[in-house]
Amino acid sequence: MAADKQTLLDYYRKMVLIRRFEETMEEHAKKGYIPGFLHLGIGQEAAQVGTMATFAPGDYVLPDHRSHGVCLMVGTPTREVMAEIFGKKTGTNGGRGGSMHVADFKRGNVGNNAIQGSTMATACGLALAAQVKKTKAVTFNFIGDGTVGRGEFHESLNLAGIWKLPIVYVLVNNGYAISTRATDAHPLADLAKMGCAYNVPGITVDGNDVEAVHAAAKEATDRARRGEGATIIELKTYRWQGHFSGDPASYRPEEEVKTWKEKCPIRRLRDTLLQRKLADMAALKAIENDVEREIQDALKFSIDSPAPTIEDALTFVYVGREVTGK
């Protein structure tokens, strides 16, 4: 069943928000505003938006390595996510997390971990807690194709299989782990099939089709909420940028990048909206302008916010035990 007008317009706004967020981050990384590494998710917006549309209050999400978009989908104000990436005290983690560790526990974002596969073990515990506490919470665990090589991928799926853990594994297959092709790193073209060994069903979906992504995510989420266990949804997509901002990605054929850019998930949704006569160009432009205001507000907030202080370096090492400074 096709999604209704309001839902599709909502997806459109969110996907444009993520796109503009990432573009703004890249621009300001180049200008020197952003410390450290920056992994962008341009091109992967449908995978993030379509999945997170099934996220409900009380659920948990563990974002992946290019996950700013996911962090924006739990209700955290855009300015707090952006300020975090800028390393500012007003960010979600007070500026001590950065691009790779944006977390907002009260809204269910349990944070990314910069070591691939690590969150899969954490996800087992979030899901286990839901079982022990008898809540209906579902854990959304975003991972990439590269993660399939990690031991934790297999240990965690095995545990999810035997304990029927309420987890939705969102395997965003963008074809590359830095320069290594997924097809060179793994023996299956469709990585969702990896779940077979662990009795965790998997489905492979066009990750640039937000409606298809949402349909698969909804089925997986419903399954988890009914207590029937975990599912892998593999979303085939592509990252337009290199691995990190500044990586020229010369390991990819130009023709391949061009082909995927033509499959832009946002353009695709725009075409759908126009073809189905659910919106006209003026309506879409109004959404884009609204997003732009949000981005510019967040940008000003991020630039103007203070950095953490050196006192902050000594807090939260232990609960109830002091550490000494210089």
Q: In the complex, which residues of this chain contact another protein (CB under 8 A)?
A: 92-94, 96-97, 101, 103-106, 110-111, 113, 115, 118, 120-133, 151-152, 155-156, 158-159, 162-163, 315-321, 323
**Minimum distance from CB of 103 to another protein (Å)?**
5
Q: Which of 150/252 has CB closer to another protein? A: 150
> Which residue type occupies 258?
K
**Minimum distance from CB of 277 to another protein (Å)?**
45
Which tokens hold the place of 265?
A: 């998930």
Q: Which of 47/170 has CB closer to another protein? A: 170
| Residue 156: closest CA among 192, 115, 110, 198 | 198
CB 42 within 8 A of CB 241: yes
- C-alpha 275/C-alpha 265 separation (Å) is 15
- C-alpha 83/C-alpha 307 separation (Å) is 10
Which tokens hold the place of 82?
A: 């952006």
Q: Which helix (H) or strand (E) holds 299?
A: helix 281-304
**Minimum distance from CB of 81 to another protein (Å)?**
14
| Residue 253: closest CA among 138, 176, 147 | 176
**Minimum distance from CB of 173 to another protein (Å)?**
22
Neighbouring CB atoms inside 10 A of 78's CB total 22
**Minimum distance from CB of 67 to another protein (Å)?**
15
Q: Which of 12/86 has CB closer to another protein? A: 86
Q: Which residues on adjacent β-strands are paired with residue 235? A: 172, 205
Q: Which of 271/312 has CB closer to another protein? A: 312
Q: Which of 149/175 has CB closer to another protein? A: 149
**Minimum distance from CB of 224 to another protein (Å)?**
15
Q: Which of 94/175 has CB closer to another protein? A: 94
Which tokens hold the place of 102?
A: 């944006």
What phi-psi label fits residue 213: left (phi over 0), alpha (psi between -120 and 50 degrees) or beta?
alpha
